Chains A and B, each alone.
Chain A
Amino acid sequence: MTADRAGGGEDARATPERGSCAHPEPTGPARQLVRAQGLAVAYPGNAPALTDVTFELTKGERIAVLGPNGGGKTTLFRALLGELRPAAGTIELRDRCASVPQTERSRLDFPVSALDVALMGTIPTRAWWRRPSRVDRAAARAALGRVGLTEQVHDTYGELSGGQRQRVLIARALVQDARVLLLDEPFTGLDATSAAGLEVLLRELAAEGRGILIATHDLEQARRWDRVLCLNRRQIAFGVPAQTLDHEVLAATYGGAIVTLPGEPATGVHHAILPPHHHHHEH
């Protein structure tokens, strides 16, 4: 992975033009957080699981990552986290990536509080022989406050609601002080109220200058975000939802498992449905 931090946001913010400029945040490459070009990712000893990925993520942006299970969403995230090396192409990261996994993967029977889980986010910045410092604990508390869990800091993680658990995991990512958040199907299993609350939180986190990649199966949701990245073992499309999510792209993304409701226009932009919404095999 090429970690090109030279032309990053720090330099741009330090330029003296800042005050004279109409828009305080710099535009162009300085807003860029992630850029992938011709990226292919393979698991060790295997053919690439994902190829031809070219996209960029800028500050303030929410990008929906669409695709079937096994389509490469998790593979892309693992490449961005540095767990898998690119087999071809490049990834440029201007900031840290932090992942927010699905809550079902974590152990609900563990004797940990919300604070304990958020504190796990201090591990990357702490030498292995160091215990969490007072600063670490303050950061974890602040992150939990940021996601609206001030009251639940000392609650047992397993006893929180699904939406609250998802927020704890987001807090753990915020503690890592990462500008790039990778969320793996964060809305799965949430009730409508929790989902709406989470959507607001993600909008706010993006507005604070973060870039967020969200793996999702929900097309309606994806349309509300800034851009979509469609993957099916290779990149099918990348762009603004309204222009990108047409019938052909969706058919290619989901392997033709699309039904167009009768009587709809042929473009099918707003009317494509995916019958097999959720398979239960992970790759």
Chain B
Amino acid sequence: MLEPFQLPFVQRALLELLLLAVLAGTLGCWIVLRGLAFPAHGAAAAAFPGLVLADGLGFAAALGGFGAALLFALAVGRGEGHDTRTALTLVAALAAGIVLASDIFHSAASVESLLFGSLLAIDPADVRLAAAAAVAALLASALLSTRWLATGFDPQAAQALGVRSRLPDTTLLALVAFAAVATLSAVGALLAAAILVVPAATTRLASDRIKRWQLTTTALAAAEGTIGIWLAVKLNAPPGATIAVVAGAAFALTALATAITPVLRRVT
């Protein structure tokens, strides 16, 4: 039953997923708490044309992706009414990436792996990127959590407390961009939310403290990744999409259980 995990490329994929689980727990909770789920999705999508450009022009993929995602996060994903701008940019980024890949660089074959990930074909550099993102998220969360909390809790009062929210909030957005790029090799530009948003959203209702929530989410994301990759190898299914399906199912079941529990209590 565990034979898939004896394959070296599956082991590497699993390591990548465990590192991303730390990212999902540490940063994902802040993304959900601060209402940044859509900007996180947008940042990952924005990375797509950046990756196509990097591939076509021959510079580091992570650099291209991160540049585009950061540009998006800082220029579009903040301020009032960012959701419309996010939607517009998301569409533009996907369209630009497809056009660049098919008509300019003739690299259309790589589009699928850029959009949905290629977890079983990652290289050590991808794992190092995930590790760096996880460490950055842990560090920033440890240092800035009171400020991130205060700003989300009551922005006006935070200002009166002297929280200059621009620096901590910019750091948060930059981290979201970094995290989005780190998830690309595993789940691609379109499924980043399966790691960055869905696990934290699943554990949201059961958590009354940030730290506990982060730990629970890390554990859940690790479990979802492990089950997802095992299923993908067993069923010969695309791993990124399989993990997204597992995460989505866990969320749906939790939401259903949360909705049903009070009803059941009333009936019995």
Contacts and interface: CB of A to CB of B under 8 A. Distances in A.
B168 interface: yes
B213 A120 contact: no
A113 interface: yes
Contacts of B154: 101, 105-107
Nearest to B210: A111
* Chain B contact surface mostly: helix
A32 B163 CA distance: 28
Interface residues of A, number: 29
A98 B161 CA distance: 8
A120 B149 contact: yes
A101 B153 CA distance: 12
A123 B162 contact: yes
Contacts, number: 73
Interface stretch (A125-133, A187-195, A200-208, A270-278): A125-133
B208 A111 contact: yes
Given A107-B152, A123-B146, A112 B161 contact: no
A30 B207 CA distance: 50
B150 interface: yes
A129 B145 CA distance: 10
B144 A128 contact: yes
B156 interface: yes
A132 B167 CA distance: 18
15 contacts: A81-B160, A99-B157, A99-B160, A105-B154, A105-B157, A106-B154, A110-B153, A119-B146, A120-B146, A120-B149, A120-B150, A123-B150, A128-B144, A130-B143, A176-B161
Interface of B: 33, 142-144, 146-147, 149-150, 152-154, 156-163, 167-168, 207-210, 213
Interface of A: 78, 81, 83, 98-99, 101, 105-107, 110-113, 116-117, 119-124, 128-132, 156, 169, 176
